[in-house]
Each structure stands twice: as C-alpha cells, then as structure tokens.
Amino acid sequence: MWLTHATVFVLMMCTVYAARDTANVKNSASKEFLHQLLEGMDTRIRPPSKDNGPVVVSVNFHVISFSSINEINMDFKTDIFFRESWTDPRLVYTEGPPSINLPSRFVDQIWTPDLYFPNEKEAKFHDVTMPNRLLKLFPNGTVIYSIRLTLTLSCPMELVSFPLDTQTCGIKIESYAYETHELQLVWRDPSVEIDDELELPQFELVQIQNVTCQKQYKTTGRFPCLKATFMLNRHFGFFLLQTYIPSALIIILSWVSFWINMDAVAARISLVSYPKAIDIWMSMGMLFVFAALLEYAFVNALSRKHAKEEHYKKTDNPQDVTEPNDHNNKQTGADFAENLQHKTTNKVNYREFARNLDKISRYLFPSIFLIFNVIYWPIYASNRV
Ligand SMILES: *[C@@H]1O[C@H](CO)[C@@H](O)[C@H](O)[C@H]1NC(C)=O
Ligand SMILES: *[C@@H]1O[C@H](CO)[C@@H](O)[C@H](O)[C@H]1NC(C)=O
C-alpha cells in the first residue's frame, strides 16, 4: 500500500517536471527560431536573387480617404494603407508556423525597400494606439509590409474650364537609391483599392489608372517608379444652382427692358474678367446686360430727340398744341405746312426706328444668348470624361 502511494507520487512528480521541460523547450525553440531567422542578417544588403537580378517589390494601396483637393496650393490629401511585398531568401524557414506576424519594431531587423513618394509635400505615420503597421513573414521568404499613411501630394491643376473641369491627381512611388537593375517595382493586383466608405464632397472619382514609369536622372541613374492616377470630375450641381441659374435669370431679366416703356430708369452694371469657364459665362452675362442697357439708352436718346422736336414744333406753332401728329393741319400757310410736314415725318422716323430697334432686340438678344449656350456647353462639357 505504502509502496503504491510512493510510486504514484514519484510518477506524478515526473509528469509535472516533464511537462515543464517540454514548455521550456518549446519556448526556447521559438525564441531560438526568430533569433536564428533574423540573426546574422545584413539589413544593408538587398535580398540575393538569381543571376544577381533585381529584387521584385510589388506594391498596392487601399485608399481610405481622399480630401482637401486644394486649387490654391495645388495639392490634395489622402489616407492610405500602403502595402509592399517582396521575397527575401534569407528569411526562408522550413519548420514553423504558416506565417508570422511580427511587431513593427522588427522592421529594423530585416531589409526593406527604400520607397518614397516624389510628389509628397507632407506625410504622417499613425501611431495610435500602436504604430499602424503590419509585418508578415511566410515560410517561402515572402514579406508583406503595410503601413498607414496620410499624405499631402502635389497635383498640378488646369483650371481653364473651371467649374466644368476634370482634374488628374496622382500618387507616385519611386525607389530612392536602388536603380532599375537592382530593384523592380510592379503593381500588385488590384493596384488601387478604394474604400467603400470613401466620400469626395466636391468631386466624383471617374477613373483610376496604374502605370509603370522609370525616372532617368543625369547624375544618379535610372530609377524604378510607379504611378497611380485618379481622374476627378468636379460636381457641377453646386455651381449650377449658385451661379449659372441666377446669372441666366439676370440676363433674361435684362430683356424685359425691350418690352417696357422707353422712359423707364436703367439698372447698374459691373464687368468681370478672369478666363475660367465660369468667368466667361459671367462676363458674357454682364455683356448681355450691358448691351441690353446700351440699346435701351440709345432708344431713350432717340425718344428724347423726338421730344425736343415736339418742343420746336410747339414754339413754331403755338396754336397747335394738342395734336402734334396731325398731318392735315390747315391753320398755317402753305410754306409752313410743308416745313411742318417734313419735320413731322422726321419725328415719326425716329420713333419708328426706336420702336423697330426694340422689336429686333426682343428676338436678337435671346437668339444670341441661345447661340452662346449652344457653343459654350459643348466646348466645356467635352473637356470632361
Ligand atoms: C509565398 O507564400 C505566400 C503564402 O502562401 C504566397 O502568397 C506567395 O505568393 C509566395 N511567394 C512566392 C514568391 O512564391
Ligand atoms: C491596372 O489597371 C487596369 C485598368 O486600367 C487593370 O485592368 C489592371 O488590372 C491594373 N493592374 C493591376 C496590376 O492592378
């Protein structure tokens, strides 16, 4: 009985020790594993490849937000997950997990491509709550490295057809030090992912293009480069409501002057000049209003001339006050009647001319405005994609 108890105790102790030993061995094995994997790795030297060819780095990004498209600074802001992937044969392992997620600080212990954004003005890493980075190793030596970045990128904009414009803004990625024979940049499929929740307040994203480029510098050599471009159509609705419709109404309003009495008072005018699409529209609008008022002033001047002649007539012929248009005036002598007849005809001509001018304008102005629209809209709308 005692013996049995002793045996059981000894066996139990053995099991406990054995289990503890196994755990220690496992722990030290994974420690050893990472240590061995990363030890002796010269992070300064790029991954070796067949025939000393270039190391292939595939790149893609996920656009989280796209904002602050700024016409004054000619730039825009974007928040992206920037992902790079390459294979380093020095990181190949045979026994171990199917993939290892390493804390981002390990990035210093492996080789990484020296990519940068040539059109960057400002960039920011995100560190809350921990650095927003991902570093993943695969048994075949493939490394995936992803970082979250907020970039302010320059984007030269052509504003000639503003606000009916299409802007092309891009993200350029280039290797800073590795030339094309040392490092090859390729797009990973899909090259650009757009977040489902992406919102662009002023624009509509109409097209994304991915291109491979090479940059040749005279002093340093030829460097690999990739470029993703975004074609953005400006939302026109806002400008239609804010500017085009009100100014069109003003133009139409100015034509009312052709229908109203010649002696009414004129409105005021101002002129704008700035050769964007919207400015051409505004200038034409002002021009229309100006021409309409000019026409009105002319007609008004003619009617005043008419009034002046009436005054002459009154002084010449004090008896005939009530009926200045009466051609069959019998109260005067033959010579005077002839003279009066001549003056009356002249006066009628002025008035007729003014009236006709108004009549022509009633149709001419709207027609010219219509023609202007027929030319204006296709020209600027054709600039859009
Ligand atoms: C390495 O393995 C990963 C995961 O299985 C795979 O996605 C990747 O394409 C492999 N890389 C190469 C170069 O075969
Ligand atoms: C590049 O863009 C084209 C469409 O313009 C697309 O078909 C192709 O898959 C893209 N390439 C990559 C590597 O994503």
Locate 355 and state its tokens. Answer: 């009236």
In short, whether 356's Cβ falls inside 6 Å of ligand 2 is no
How confident is the model over 26-44, as a mean pLDDT?
Answer: 75
In short, whether 339's Cβ falls inside 6 Å of ligand 1 is no
What distance in angstroms lies between residue 140's CA and the mean position of ligand 1's atoms? 6
Q: How many CB atoms lie within 10 A of CB 299?
A: 22
The DSSP annotation for 98-164 comes to S-EEEPGGGGGGS----EE-TTEEEEEE--SSS--EEEEE-TTSEEEEEEEEEEEEE-----TTTTS
- Closest C-alpha among 116, 104, 59, 108 to residue 84: 59
Burial class of 218 by CB neighbour count within 10 A (0 to 12, 13 to 18, 19+)? exposed
Nearest C-alpha to atom 14 of ligand 1 is from which residue?
140
Q: In which residue are the tokens 């003005």 written?
A: 121
pLDDT at 268 over 80: no
- Closest C-alpha among 187, 157, 191, 130 to residue 71: 157
Query: Rounded to an integer, what distance in angstroms lies between the CA atom of residue 252 and that of residue 245?
Result: 10
pLDDT recorded at residue 277:
87
What distance in angstroms lies between residue 197's CA and the mean position of ligand 1's atoms? 30
The ligand whose atoms approach the alpha carbon of 211 most closely is 2
Phi and psi for 271 in degrees, rounded to 5? -120, 140
Q: Is the CATH number 3.40.50.170 carried by domain 50-235?
A: no
- Closest C-alpha among 171, 153, 142, 169 to residue 84: 142
| CATH no. for 239-381 | 1.20.58.390
Query: Rounded to an integer, what distance in angstroms lies between the CA atom of residue 111 and that of residue 88?
Result: 8
pLDDT at 321 over 60: no
Do 141 and 90 contact (CB within 8 A), yes or no?
Answer: yes
pLDDT recorded at residue 345:
59
In short, whether 283's Cβ falls inside 6 Å of ligand 2 is no
* Cis bond before residue 324 (omega within 30° of 0): no
Q: How many CB atoms lie within 10 A of CB 209?
A: 13
Residue of 49, 55, 56, 142 to mutate, ligand 1, most atoms within 8 A of C-beta: 142
Nearest C-alpha to atom 5 of ligand 2 is from which residue?
209
The DSSP annotation for 303-361 comes to HHHHHHHHHHHHHH-TT--S-TT-S---SS-HHHHHHHHHHHHHHHHHHHHHHHHHHHH
pLDDT recorded at residue 101:
93
What distance in angstroms lies between residue 85's CA and the mean position of ligand 1's atoms? 10
The ligand whose atoms approach the alpha carbon of 61 most closely is 2
pLDDT recorded at residue 195:
94
In short, whether 229's Cβ falls inside 6 Å of ligand 2 is no
Our separate counts of H helices and E strands in the chain read 5, 11
pLDDT recorded at residue 224:
96
For the chain, the domains span 50-235, 239-381
Give 335-347 pLDDT, tens digit per residue.
555 555 555 556 6
- Ligand 1 atom showing the smallest separation from residue 87 Cα: 13
The ligand whose atoms approach the alpha carbon of 228 most closely is 2
Do 185 and 59 contact (CB within 8 A), yes or no?
Answer: yes
Q: How many CB atoms lie within 10 A of CB 195?
A: 14
What distance in angstroms lies between residue 92's CA and the mean position of ligand 2's atoms? 30
- Ligand 2 atom showing the smallest separation from residue 191 Cα: 14
Query: Rounded to an integer, what distance in angstroms lies between the CA atom of residue 198 and that of residue 327?
Result: 80
Query: Rounded to an integer, what distance in angstroms lies between the CA atom of residue 184 and that of residue 320?
Result: 102
How confident is the model over 172-193, as a mean pLDDT?
Answer: 95
The DSSP annotation for 211-226 comes to EEEEEEETTTEEEEEE
Q: What is the reported pTM? A: 0.70
DSSP letter, residue 202: S
The ligand whose atoms approach the alpha carbon of 189 most closely is 2
Do 361 and 258 contact (CB within 8 A), yes or no?
Answer: yes
pLDDT at 13 over 70: no
The ligand whose atoms approach the alpha carbon of 60 most closely is 2
Q: Using alpha carbons only, how large is the chain's radius of gyration in Å? A: 42
- Percent of the chain at pLDDT > 90 equals 49
pLDDT recorded at residue 116:
96
What distance in angstroms lies between residue 18's CA and the mean position of ligand 2's atoms? 57
CA 12 to chain CA centroid, Å, is 74
Query: Taking each helix axis from N to C terminus, what angle separates 334-381 and 277-316, rounded to the nearest 10 degrees?
Result: 170
- Ligand 1 atom showing the smallest separation from residue 140 Cα: 1
In short, whether 142's Cβ falls inside 6 Å of ligand 1 is yes
Do 365 and 287 contact (CB within 8 A), yes or no?
Answer: no
pLDDT at 148 over 60: yes
Query: Rounded to an integer, what distance in angstroms lies between the CA atom of residue 204 and that of residue 75?
Result: 17
Give 67-123 pLDDT, tens digit per residue.
889 999 999 999 999 999 999 999 999 888 899 999 888 899 999 999 999 999 999
What distance in angstroms lies between residue 231's CA and the mean position of ligand 2's atoms? 15
What distance in angstroms lies between residue 126's CA and the mean position of ligand 2's atoms? 29
In short, whether 49's Cβ falls inside 6 Å of ligand 1 is no
In short, whether 138's Cβ falls inside 6 Å of ligand 1 is yes
Helix (H) or strand (E) holding 84: strand 75-87
pLDDT recorded at residue 77:
95
